[in-house]
């Protein structure tokens, strides 16, 4: 079953990897006079959508990077705090042992 999940992931990755850019055929392209205004507007709209999608992806990546960096700092602080707490507890235990030894004498 886990193999089926891996195959699904492979399918998704291969789909992305297989998307090669379509070569532009300049020789058979229509002349500028043959391109309709409507087609030109459609291409411009598609270009604008792709630009907006790219900007949204870049913004999302930036936000994720900021969140990751904050999380990393919090984890680092938590580790330092935990070590400090552990060290304080060990010092406190050491003091208790010394007091106990002094009282037993």
Which pLDDT does position 25 carry in this prediction? 63
Report pTM: 0.44
Count the domains in the chain. Answer: 1
Asked if the structure places residue 75 within a domain, the reply is: yes
Asked if the structure places residue 101 within a domain, the reply is: yes
Asked if the structure places residue 7 within a domain, the reply is: no
The mean pLDDT of the chain is 77
- For 20-58, write each residue's pLDDT tens digit: 666 666 666 666 666 788 888 999 999 999 999 999 999
DSSP per residue, the chain: -HHHHHHHHHHHHHHHHT-PPPPP-STTSPPTTTS-HHHHHHHHHHHHHHHHHHHHHHHHHHHHHHHHHHHHHHHHHHHHHHHHHHHHHHHHHHHHHHHHHHHH-
Which pLDDT does position 18 carry in this prediction? 55
- For 70-81, write each residue's pLDDT tens digit: 999 999 988 888
Which pLDDT does position 80 carry in this prediction? 83
- Domain with 51 in it: 35-105
């Amino acid at each position: 079953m886990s193999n089926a999940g891996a195959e699904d992931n492979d399918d998704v990755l291969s789909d992305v990897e297989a998307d090669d850019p379509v070569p532009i055929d300049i020789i058979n392209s229509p002349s500028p006079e043959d391109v309709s205004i409507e087609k030109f507007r459609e291409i411009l709209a598609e270009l604008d959508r792709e630009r907006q999608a790219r900007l949204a992806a870049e913004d999302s990546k930036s936000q994720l990077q900021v969140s990751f960096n904050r999380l990393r700092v919090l984890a680092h602080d938590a580790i330092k705090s935990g070590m400090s707490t552990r060290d304080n507890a060990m010092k406190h235990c050491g003091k208790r042992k010394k007091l106990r030894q002094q009282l037993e004498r």
